[in-house]
Amino acid sequence: MCILRFVFLTVLILIAPVEAADANEDYRLQAGDDIEIFVWQNPDISRTLTIENNGEISYILMENIKAAGLTREELAAKITEKLSSYIETPKVSVIVKKFIRRQVYIIGQINKPGTYPLKKDMRLLELIALSGSFSDTANENKLEIIRGDKIIKINAGTIMRREKDDMILEAGDIINVPRTALSNTNVAIRQISPLLTFITTIMTIAILIML
What is the fold of 2-98? wza like fold (3.30.1950)
Q: What is the pLDDT of residue 185?
A: 47
Please write the tens of the pLDDT for every residue from 64-84: 899 988 999 999 999 999 999
* Distance in angstroms (rounded) separating the CA atoms of residues 155 and 139: 9
pLDDT of residue 40: 93
Instruction: Return d(Cα 133, Cα 201) in angstroms, integer.
Output: 42
pLDDT value at residue 18: 41
Q: What is the mean pLDDT of each run of 10 residues along the chain (211 residues)?
A: 43 39 64 91 91 88 86 93 90 89 89 90 94 94 89 94 93 91 52 62 69 64
- Domain limits, CATH 3.30.1950.10, in the chain: 2-98
Residues contacting 66, CB < 8 A, separation 6+: 55, 56
pLDDT for res 182: 59
User: Residue 209: what pLDDT?
Assistant: 73
Give the CATH number of domain 103-179. 3.10.560.10
End-to-end CA distance of the chain: 105
Instruction: Tally DSSP H helices, then E strands, for the chain.
Output: 5, 10
Residue 80's nearest CA partner among 31, 45, 30 is 45
